[in-house]
Structure 1
Amino acid sequence: MRLSGIIAAILLALSWGDLARAAGEPVDLELVLAVDVSGSVDAVEARLQREGYVAAFRDPEVVRAIRSGMVGRIAVLYFEWASQHESRVVLDWQVVADAGSATAFADRLASEPVLRGRRTSIAAAIDFAVPHFGRRYEGTRRVIDLSGDGPNNDGAPVVPARDRAVAAGIVINGLPIINERQFTWGLPNLKELDLYYRDCVIGGPGAFYIVAEDFESFAAAVKRKLVLEIAGRMPTVQHAQLYPERPMFDAEGRVDCLAGEKLLEIYRRRTEPN
């Protein structure tokens, strides 16, 4: 082969390698797990959340769901979030393709310390998650799995952030944790949180939410949600609590997506000196 032909072959091989790297490693799903560690989540509850995800990735049913995909592997990133300036990647992208890699992910997650924060910025959590997609992997689907026990009350409103993510081709699924106790510093919680997630947080084709009735039932909810998410399915019945008084609903019966901000303002008016 002439020198020019050898050079051309080398350049062609390099160009194909660049294209492969640009496209990213194929996976069935790019999944970002976004976990609330704001002030409403105490140390015990934060640990219960973490243990729920650890248990899920050690579960054979979750592994079977991963293996059932056309590619047979997913990429997972796990981060914890609180206020608009408190988001931290706990585990960067890792491919999970079998029991060994799923257990490795779970073991690494179990060994990491839990971040703690104060307020709740779902909007900032969504905005933090979006740029992480497409960096190393090319998923057939891209999903943010967002769990939390309260509405957005810090930083920008949640709806524009949700809509930007959906416009970028990302689905947001929700795991609202129903927790009717008053927050530790006196701020009232939103008892209609499941419906708030339905109307204000989730979005994109096939988006859904699964309710955790409390922190103790979080692990079971996580497992169910992951199996559905990985398989690209939706739950048969969408759970919704029904309450006799709904002060945070609008005339059309939908949750006010500024409910968290308004609850915070009510709290401030009650606690600030006259």
Structure 2
Amino acid sequence: MRFAALVLTVCLSLPQAVRAECRLALALAMDVSRSVDAKDFAIQTQGLADALEAPEIETALFAPAGDVALAVYQWSGEEYQEVLVGWTEIREPADLGPVVALLRGLKPPELRLNTALGRGLEFGRDLLASAPACERRVLDVAGDGRNNAGPTPERIYALGGWEGITVNGLAIGSHELQLPDYFHASLIRGPGAFVELALRHTDFPQAIRRKLQRELTEAVAALDCPEAAGGAPRSCRIFR
């Protein structure tokens, strides 16, 4: 009896394997401006849903380092930003089900508006201000064009409120040449910020999967940009 009691005491005194608190608040911003037609919209929403269910993304989401809080919104013109998924803490696979189901059921907006990238950024900043308390805050902005309405990203950054926020970009290069360079110069900011590239809208599903894995895994986010197939570098330069 004394031996059993001693074993129980030792076991209770050992550190328990528990998940840490929230490690990442991740806001995903989707471009639905007039250059994104219904087919492109479906590729983006279904591609994001598929990525969230991919084995490597689920492994990164449910790492023992801590939970992830996720939000999704869409943006286009100066007055159009809409939250699709409010802040949802992803603690277990069951938490992903409603998010994925919502994404798969989305329809494109009827309004065909300009590309107010600055206002889309501003909305993401304010959304992150309402996020759960997490160690890191990341805004993931996908877009297929430069700002052509409202204040520029530079102007929005100059207004402040970006402390502790990393902004990454996913440039969809179908419509505008040198869009990755524009995202490097005007969009991304913060520790470890980078640009991922989808040459066409059809490349979005693979690009968002790569991007999510890097954002969800701090060790990966700190690495140099991996090479694409064939040895050609992708446009995902990291700013340290």
Q: How many pairs were matched up?
A: 207
After superposition, residues 141-160 of structure 1 pair within 5 angstroms as: 141-160=136-155
Q: Separation in 1 of the partners of 2:159 and 2:222?
A: 22
* Residue number among 92, 105, 114 corresponding to 1:111 in the alignment: 105
Q: Separation in 2 of the partners of 1:163 and 1:169?
A: 15
- CA offset at residue 235 of structure 1? 5.5
* Residue aligning to 2:96: 102
After superposition, residues 130-149 of structure 1 pair within 5 angstroms as: 130-149=125-144
Q: Does residue 219 of structure 1 match 2:198?
A: no
* Residue aligning to 1:14: none
Q: Separation in 2 of the partners of 1:34 and 1:49?
A: 11
Q: Which amino acid aligns with 1:57?
A: L
Query: What is the CA deviation profile of residues 126-169 of structure 1, one whole-angstrom value per residue up to 9, with x for unaligned ones?
Result: 11111222425111110110000000000011112245567332
**1:77 and 1:94 in contact (8 A); partners too:** yes
Larger radius of gyration: 1
Q: Which amino acid aligns with 2:183?
A: Y
Query: What is the CA deviation profile of residues 157-191 of structure 1, one whole-angstrom value per residue up to 9, with x for unaligned ones?
Result: 111224556733211000000114xxxxxxxxx30
**1:81 and 1:117 in contact (8 A); partners too:** no
* Residue aligning to 1:5: none
Q: Which amino acid aligns with 1:123?
A: G
Query: What is the CA deviation profile of residues 28-72 of structure 1, one whole-angstrom value per residue up to 9, with x for unaligned ones?
Result: 11111000000011110011111111101111211111122521x
**2:25 and 2:131 in contact (8 A); partners too:** no
- Structure 2 vs 1, CA of residues 28 and 159 (structure 1 numbering), >3 Å: closer, same or farther? same
Paired-residue identity, %? 27
- Structure 2 vs 1, CA of residues 69 and 203 (structure 1 numbering), >3 Å: closer, same or farther? farther
- Structure 2 vs 1, CA of residues 160 and 130 (structure 1 numbering), >3 Å: closer, same or farther? same
Is there any run of 5+ residues in structure 2 with no aligned partner, and where? 1-19, 226-232
Is there any run of 5+ residues in structure 1 with no aligned partner, and where? 1-24, 181-189, 242-274
- Structure 2 vs 1, CA of residues 209 and 200 (structure 1 numbering), >3 Å: closer, same or farther? same
- CA offset at residue 113 of structure 1? 2.7
Q: Separation in 1 of the partners of 2:206 and 2:215?
A: 14
* Residue aligning to 1:198: 184
- CA offset at residue 239 of structure 1? 2.9
Secondary structure of the residue aligned to 2:145 is coil
- CA offset at residue 203 of structure 1? 0.4
Q: Separation in 2 of the partners of 1:149 and 1:177?
A: 5
* Residue aligning to 2:77: 83
**2:180 and 2:235 in contact (8 A); partners too:** yes
Q: Which amino acid aligns with 2:155?
A: P
Q: TM-score normalised to the size of structure 1?
A: 0.71
Q: TM-score normalised to the size of structure 2?
A: 0.80
Query: What is the CA deviation profile of residues 80-110 of structure 1, one whole-angstrom value per residue up to 9, with x for unaligned ones?
Result: 1001111111111111123222233211222
